[in-house]
Structure 1
Amino acid sequence: MRISKPITLFTKDLSFYHSLLRSCVHGDNSSSPVTIFRDLLRSSLIPNHFTMSILLQASSASLSPHNHASVGSLSLVHTHLKKSGIDRFVYVKTSLLDLYMKMGFVATAGKLFDEMPERDTVAWNAIICGYSRNGCELGAWHHFVVMLQQGFLPSATTLASLLPFCGQCGFVSQGRSVHCIASKSGLELDSQVKNALISFYSKCTELGSAEVLFTEMKDKSTVSWNTMIGAYSQSGFQKEAITVFKNMFESRSVEISPVTVINLLSAHVSYEPLHSLVVKTGMVNDNSVITSLVCAYSRCGCLDSAERLYASATQDSIVGLTSIVSSYAEKGDMDVVVSYFSKMRHMCMRIDAVALVGILHGCKSSSHIDIGTSLHGYVIKSGLCTQTLVVNGLITMYSKFDDIETVLFLFETLHETPLISWNSVISGCTQSGKASTAFEIFHQMSLSDGPVPDAVTIASLLAGCSQLLYLHLGKKLHGYIIRNSFGSEKFVCTALIDMYTKCGNAELAERVFNSIEAPCTATWNSMISGYSLSGLHSRALSCYLQMREQGLKPDRITFLGILAACTHGGLVDEGREYFREMIKEFGISPSLQHYALMVGLLGRECLFSEALCLIWEMDEKPDSAVWGSLLSACILNREIEIGEYVAKKMFMLDYRNGGLYVLMSNLYATEEMWEDVSRVRRMMKDNGYDGYLGVSQTL
């Protein structure tokens, strides 16, 4: 009987394994390229240089950077290449080099390149692109220069990888050199290079060059349109970004992508039409788009919409949630902020420095001190206390609490003290009324060979001069401003005007004001308040009318200055008119300060009934400042009956207010009611305000 041999359906030769590896390159095979390679080695087949080239390509598509398993697989491949001697082939070693770069092993890749006895254009392009991709731009640029010196030509990908570095680091001349090389080699026509050039010129604020390149493009891809929209958006040209988008939309030759929407939102384009577009184009499932829309809604204060949109997202986003929390913090709604903070912690989200600083900014008054100290505890526990940005945020927060001792302690804990940290402390001390301490810190900064003061430093020091009435030092700072060309900064000029007016020199304040080409509302406000403080009420009102003629809209601070001028000048009719104008014409709700000024104005002119009616009609509960302004008017006009009524109101608000007893004592003294004066002084003594007795005797 004859036994037949088993029939072999096919033989596993090298071409079979090559086919399997190619399927891994294209993502058609779920098997690991290294597993296939091990199977090949177990057979009697010997891999050749072609096998290894395909294996490296397949590994490049499947291995993960800095993954232990991937590192082991790469080491196995590299070892076999060395043993077999196949690594002598330039294109095989180039593939290996490229794979090391993609895995993040820059030093190993660089060593492989240095060991290559011969290099071709592909190898040079691989090393340059690899350095760029891993953030080693200087290494990329060095190899690019050597490559050109040795007569090799760059590829379009190489040039495109170099240009972002030139734009970000301010290497404008190098970027222009790349443009020249692209023009000479004909690579300027490549869309990848042209898009990179447009982006480069926009980052260098040379939008004219970017526009020319974009206009010259015949076949504009979605990337090209997005690059130009992004260029305008990053430069703050909203109208131009919208125009390019409209042209893109009307061309119908390209599709609008998520990047298009994100670029437009970064230009602060109206979010509602874009939201509709997102829904129509089916991008509602793109988390990057949803996050950008959430940030846009939060930025505009539409927090209900932002929260609903965030809830509809398929995955949580720390960026979107941070935007919502920061907006609530900006509004001072710290209860909601704390609730969101707890939610973020419960979801195990890593709250970064930016998110935390946004939350810290919400702690605006001493009523938030418990929340602030709790956040400080979290900063220490999470290790964020080593980050300068966070420490600066804490310094600003404690400045608002008038806790300068903690501010100075935090400043001393900083390992590095950049200018922003010095500015935070100086500004914090000034805002807390500790101008002398601010000048001491500035003196330390000068002696420590620290950073050079900038416009923010000078503005804070000018505020300190205003507090201490240091006119001589203020003039020296004015000279520093002129020498360093800070005069173009309007906030510096505003601080300068404020300093001169508070130091009693309205003439110099006027000179500074007249030197400003187009004063903003804050600068006009400073001038109006300065005139008012100097008793020049007519000039204050005239300044307000000039401001209105310039087309500027007054704000709350403007009307504080105007009402103060009317109060000092006894201009009741004008005060009534401006108060009405603020509410009816400009829709500004009066603050307690506005009411205090208006009540004081009416009281000084003995219009007590009208003043009381105004208080009773207030939307919010009057504070001691409102009642105090009326009580001062009662003392001025010797109005005992109303004065006693007002004093009772103030006593109910805060019986510990020592100033109340002083005012009442003075009120009785004006009418020589000495028994009542003695009674008030006994109350002062009983409540522990002996120190105020000397004050009441001198008034």
Structure 2
Amino acid sequence: MSFAKSVGLSFFHSLLRSQLETKTVNSPLLVFRQLLQFNLKPSDLTFSLVIKASASYSLKQRLEAYQIHTHLLKSGIIHFVYIKTTLLSFYVNLGCVKSASLLLEDMPERDVVAWNALISGYSKNGYDLYAFYLFMEMLREGFTPQTTTLVGLIPSIGRLELVSQGKSIHGIGVKAGLDRDSKVKNALTSMYAKCRDLAAAEILFEEMVEKSVVTWNTMIGAYGQNGLFDEAMVLFKKMRENTLEVNSVTVMSLLSANADHETVHCFAIKTGIVNDASVITSLVCVYARSGDNESAGLLHNSLPQENLVSLTAIISSYAERGNVDMVVECFARSQQLDMELDAVAMVGILHGVKNPAYIDIGLSFHGYGIKTGLCIHSLVANGLISMYSKFNDIEAVFSLFSEMQEKPLISWNSIISGCVQAGRADDAMELFCRMKMFGHHPDNITIASLLSGCSQLGYLQFGKKLHGFVLRNNLEVEDFIGTALIDMYIKCGSIDVAERVFKSIKEPCLATWNTMITGYGVCGFQNKALTHYAKLRERGLKPDRITLLGVLAACIHGGAVDEGRRYFQIMTEEFGLAPSLQHCACMVALLSRARLFEEALLFISNMEFDPDSTVWGALLSACCTHQEVKLGEYIAKKLYLLDHRNGGLYVLMSNLYASKGMWDDVARVRQMMKDTGGDGCSGVSLLEVTSFKEMDDNTYLWEVDLGEQSGRQRFSY
């Protein structure tokens, strides 16, 4: 200590430099406090070294930043421009963008380095538009952008809706001569790829005479982001032909380009890159997404230091597959390691809590989100809205939504979708109107959710208006929008319009084919359903369980027993798809409707799992059709034991007895129904109100769409 005092500040500066170079875990503030204990006055260099050393120190960084800031204010050294800039960069790296912004505002003399630091900070922390506006303010104040400025700014413009701003930045770079820099060109290449302008990205790539590993990695990633996986692999082979040494980013780019992860894993082992923590983390994420949690777990355990990204991937994988017990176990592991979940991890968990049996666990994670402050993130709030929607807890959904300080479009989409999922489509329509009042423009997800609501309520006219909105705004009628439109028209009874929408789609996905096949089956067009199935196979698409369910339903409506047997066999033997209870119920309905009751009962006895009320209900319905009283009574007992409150059971048995004139038994069954709390007569009629006009204080005129019977009616309120 006496030696330290005799040499003065230089000794402590050496200690801080040593910490900075070795990235030691010791707090730089401890060195600073020792310096003060010797009554030494810190200089601007002291504070500069303290701030830089603190940037590599991982524990309680924000607290240290505020403590350093306080010392700077007390000493007056904060007036040095470069000190303020260094502190600003420190705040930015910590994600304290607001504190950094306030520092810049307080700087009477600003340099380009300070502007660059805050622009980059906004960009890294997701404040994309703020980064762009700050850049424009920098230009207005007469500062000339540098290479660092554009490299920090361009990543924030990598969104399709900001492509015009990106092109403007590119133009400024060309005018200033900065576009020749390889770092700027790499950033621009990545930006154009994210904006889906792959042609521009390819031009920039070809223009580069000397292509570094970073350049090749950027272009491989660009192809991967745009789904051109084959092109990404071809470019990787060319990169290898140019004898360029791959690095960890190359491997991660290949994984993002959907390359076979096991092959990439072998390549990483062969080249020695597998020891890189970022590569291990990427492999963990890919294995977890593919459902191979065993391999993901082994890789995760091989990390020199566990990180939240890989643990989040494993947790999300378990959650997606409904393995909530393992989710809780992994969460407990994260708590033992003093890891706080981030918003992404929380959303992954919440999406996995689907079964009402795990509602207590969902509530516990909601409590964790409140305790850690994660619930203020719109991403987490949307995840909670989605979770409570699955449990039909609409009151909780509305409460969460009302508590949100900022309601971006994604939050409106979440609550609208949640209401539709919970069978509250009328609430979804009302929310849509409120959303428009708040100035939000609906996107594809909004439209798809509303179309699903129209399907529930039979709102054909509103569905047509949404279709018109899609056409006027040139939204792509592909994938889920096209599928939602087809589903809406089918369920509203307009199969011909559904056909026209289907034909307008250039490349229908499997879900779209499934919707059309199921629609034909529901509407009784057996031949068209089977023809569409044949066309689907001609396109090279592999059917899934939903496809075969639609095909079997079509066979039921058409009474095609032999075809139904054949398709059920194809599903299990050719495609290796294990039949669900719904498939089994279809087969039972198909056989029993053809009066093949013995075969239907044999099929039920050979099922790999216990039949549920759907299976027995299909058989009982056929008994009613063919007036099989004894078999019907046997099945009714089975159904009664499964669910004695099932109103359909009593209605079917009542109809069966009535068809045979057994009126005493009809009365007995109806009394049993009343004793369980139902009368079999409850129902709801829906009218689509197309306009509304107030006539006087108490009377309103509604225009109601009833197809051919559309008209007007006065209602008093």
User: TM-score, with normalisation over the residues of structure 1?
Assistant: 0.81
CA contact (8 A) 2:89 2:118 kept: no
Inter-partner Cα distance in structure 2 for 1:310 and 1:319: 10
CA contact (8 A) 2:51 2:68 kept: no
Choose which of 433, 455, 461 in structure 2 pairs with 1:466.
Answer: 455
Residue 692 (1) aligns with residue 675 (2): no
Residue 176 (1) aligns with residue 170 (2): yes
Query: Paired residue for 1:623?
Result: 612
Choose which of 450, 457, 478 in structure 1 pairs with 2:467.
Answer: 478
Task: State the one-letter code of the partner of 2:591.
Answer: L
- The more displaced of 282-291 and 29-38 is 29-38
Inter-partner Cα distance in structure 2 for 1:411 and 1:673: 55
CA contact (8 A) 2:194 2:222 kept: yes
Residue 336 (1) aligns with residue 330 (2): no
CA contact (8 A) 2:217 2:250 kept: yes
Q: Aligned with 1:600: secondary structure?
A: helix
Choose which of 412, 427, 433 in structure 2 pairs with 1:443.
Answer: 433
CA shift for structure 1 position 558: 1.7
Query: CA deviation digits over 1:375-407, x for unaligned, max 9?
Result: 333333333333322222222222222232332
Inter-partner Cα distance in structure 2 for 1:440 and 1:243: 51
Choose which of 529, 547, 551 in structure 1 pairs with 2:536.
Answer: 547
Residue 129 (1) aligns with residue 116 (2): yes
Query: Over aligned residue pairs, what C-alpha RMSD do you find?
Result: 3.9
Task: State the one-letter code of the partner of 1:357.
Answer: V
**1:321-332, aligned counterparts within 5 Å?**
321-332=311-322
Stretches of structure 1 that go unaligned for 5 or more consecutive residues are 1-11, 83-92, 116-122
CA shift for structure 1 position 694: 9.4
Change in CA separation of 1:540 and 1:70 when aligned onto 2, cut-off 3 Å: same
CA shift for structure 1 position 278: 2.9
Change in CA separation of 1:543 and 1:164 when aligned onto 2, cut-off 3 Å: closer
CA shift for structure 1 position 355: 1.4
Query: Paired residue for 2:593?
Result: 604
CA contact (8 A) 1:20 1:29 kept: no
Q: Aligned with 2:352: secondary structure?
A: coil
Aligned length: 648
Choose which of 500, 506, 515 in structure 2 pairs with 1:526.
Answer: 515
Q: Aligned with 1:369: secondary structure?
A: helix
Query: Paired residue for 1:491?
Result: 480
Change in CA separation of 1:197 and 1:434 when aligned onto 2, cut-off 3 Å: closer
Change in CA separation of 1:586 and 1:76 when aligned onto 2, cut-off 3 Å: same
Inter-partner Cα distance in structure 1 for 2:48 and 2:400: 53
- The more displaced of 501-510 and 243-252 is 243-252
CA shift for structure 1 position 305: 0.8
CA contact (8 A) 2:592 2:600 kept: yes
Inter-partner Cα distance in structure 2 for 1:378 and 1:58: 38
Task: State the one-letter code of the partner of 1:456.
Answer: I
Change in CA separation of 1:158 and 1:296 when aligned onto 2, cut-off 3 Å: same
Residue 404 (1) aligns with residue 394 (2): yes
Residue 246 (1) aligns with residue 234 (2): no
Stretches of structure 2 that go unaligned for 5 or more consecutive residues are 1-5, 56-60, 92-98, 123-129, 684-717
Change in CA separation of 1:54 and 1:241 when aligned onto 2, cut-off 3 Å: farther
Choose which of 338, 347, 355 in structure 1 pairs with 2:337.
Answer: 347
CA shift for structure 1 position 630: 0.6
CA shift for structure 1 position 298: 0.7
CA shift for structure 1 position 633: 0.8
CA contact (8 A) 2:151 2:183 kept: yes
Inter-partner Cα distance in structure 2 for 1:140 and 1:390: 31
Q: Aligned with 2:432: secondary structure?
A: helix
Query: CA deviation digits over 1:182-208, x for unaligned, max 9?
Result: 54xxx6554444434433443444433
Inter-partner Cα distance in structure 2 for 1:345 and 1:39: 37
Query: Paired residue for 1:643?
Result: 632
**1:106-125, aligned counterparts within 5 Å?**
110=104, 114-115=108-109, 124-125=111-112
- The more displaced of 636-645 and 21-30 is 21-30
Residue 373 (1) aligns with residue 367 (2): no
Choose which of 546, 557, 573 in structure 1 pairs with 2:546.
Answer: 557
Task: State the one-letter code of the partner of 1:195.
Answer: N
CA contact (8 A) 1:166 1:174 kept: no
CA contact (8 A) 2:447 2:481 kept: yes
- The more displaced of 544-553 and 126-135 is 126-135
CA contact (8 A) 2:101 2:118 kept: no
CA contact (8 A) 1:167 1:201 kept: yes
Task: State the one-letter code of the partner of 2:298.
Answer: R
Query: CA deviation digits over 1:51-86, x for unaligned, max 9?
Result: x9987886675454754675577679865x99xxxx
Inter-partner Cα distance in structure 2 for 1:357 and 1:395: 11
Query: Paired residue for 2:218?
Result: 227
Inter-partner Cα distance in structure 2 for 1:165 and 1:658: 57
CA shift for structure 1 position 652: 2.7
CA shift for structure 1 position 288: 2.1
Query: Paired residue for 1:583?
Result: 572
Query: CA deviation digits over 1:216-271, x for unaligned, max 9?
Result: 444443333333333333444323333333333343343x3222222222233221
CA shift for structure 1 position 655: 2.9
Query: Paired residue for 1:304?
Result: 294
Choose which of 538, 543, 550 in structure 1 pairs with 2:527.
Answer: 538
Inter-partner Cα distance in structure 2 for 1:29 and 1:559: 60
Inter-partner Cα distance in structure 1 for 2:17 and 2:411: 56
CA contact (8 A) 2:620 2:652 kept: yes
Inter-partner Cα distance in structure 1 for 2:362 and 2:44: 59
CA contact (8 A) 1:572 1:601 kept: yes
Query: Paired residue for 1:87?
Result: none
Query: Paired residue for 1:424?
Result: 414
CA shift for structure 1 position 454: 2.4
Change in CA separation of 1:595 and 1:352 when aligned onto 2, cut-off 3 Å: same
Change in CA separation of 1:569 and 1:78 when aligned onto 2, cut-off 3 Å: same
- Percent identical among aligned pairs is 47
Query: Paired residue for 1:7?
Result: none
Larger gyration radius, structure 1 or structure 2: 1
CA shift for structure 1 position 176: 1.8
Inter-partner Cα distance in structure 2 for 1:274 and 1:352: 28
